[in-house]
Amino acid sequence: MMKAIAITAVVLAIAIAVVLILAATKPDTFAVQRAAIVNAPAEKIFPLISDFRQWGAWSPYEHKDPAMKRTFSGAVRGTGAVYAWDGDKNVGSGRMEILDVAAPSKVVIKLDFYTPFEAHNTAEFTMLPQDDATRVIWRMHGPASFMAKIMHVFINIDKMVGKDFEAGLANLKRLAEK
C-alpha cells in the first residue's frame, strides 16, 4: 500500500513539474486576431464598434447569458465610453473603456476581466479600405501571467477566443452590409 502511494506521489510530482516547465516556456504576452472583409465603407462600420450600445446587435458575447446585467457610463460613444457587465460563468464580469478613436479607422479599448479570472488586456478594431470594401481587424492582446501560462498549457486561447471573434465579425459584416 505504501509503495503504491509513493509511486502515485512521484508520478503526480513529475506531472506537476512538467506542467510548470511547459508554462515557463510560454510567452509573457498573448495576442488573438481575426479579420473579415466587409462590403461597406468604414464610416458605416465605425459607429457599430465605437458605441457600446450597438454591440448587442453583433457581439457574440452579448447572447451567451441572456440575464447578463449591463451598465453604460461615461461618453455615449467614442473616447471615454464605458461598458460594464456582470453575468454567469459563460461571460463572467468585467469592464471596457474606449481609450482612443481615430474615426473611422480605429477603436482602442481597455478590457478588464474580473471574473471568472482577472485579466487586463487591450482590444483594437482597425478598419482599412480595401477596394470598395473594408478590412476589419479585431485584435486582443495583453500580458500573460504565470497562471495564464499554466492555462495556456491546456487551452489554446487563439482557437477559443478566435472562434468568437470570427462569429462577431460575421455578425458585424451582416449588419453593416444591410
- Predicted TM-score (pTM) of this structure: 0.86
74 lies in some domain: yes
Helix axes 42-50, 157-176, angle to 10 degrees: 120
pLDDT digits (tens, 9 = 90+) for 115-172: 988 899 999 999 999 999 999 999 999 998 888 888 888 888 889 889 999 999 999 9
23 pLDDT band, cuts 50/70/90, is confident
Question: Please, what is the average pLDDT of the chain?
Answer: 93
Say how far residue 111 (Cα) sits from the centre of its chain: 8
pLDDT digits (tens, 9 = 90+) for 40-83: 999 999 999 999 999 999 999 998 898 999 999 999 999 999 99
7 lies in some domain: no
Number of domains observed in the structure of the chain: 1
Domain extent for 123: 29-176
Instruction: In whole angstroms, give the CA distance from residue 64 to residue 162.
Output: 16
- In one-letter notation, the amino acid at residue 159 is K
The pLDDT value recorded for residue 148 is 83
The pLDDT value recorded for residue 136 is 98
Number of Cβ within a 10 Å radius of residue 46: 24
Residue 80 grid coordinates:
471615454
1 pLDDT band, cuts 50/70/90, is confident
pLDDT digits (tens, 9 = 90+) for 98-129: 999 999 999 999 999 999 888 999 999 999 99
Say how far residue 43 (Cα) sits from the centre of its chain: 23
76 lies in some domain: yes
Instruction: In whole angstroms, give the CA distance from residue 6 to residue 40.
Output: 65
The pLDDT value recorded for residue 177 is 96
56 lies in some domain: yes
11 lies in some domain: no
72 lies in some domain: yes
Mention every residue, 6+ apart, whose C-beta is less than 8 A from residue 139. Answer: 31, 32, 33, 123, 124, 125, 126
134 lies in some domain: yes
Domain CATH code at residue 138: 3.30.530.20
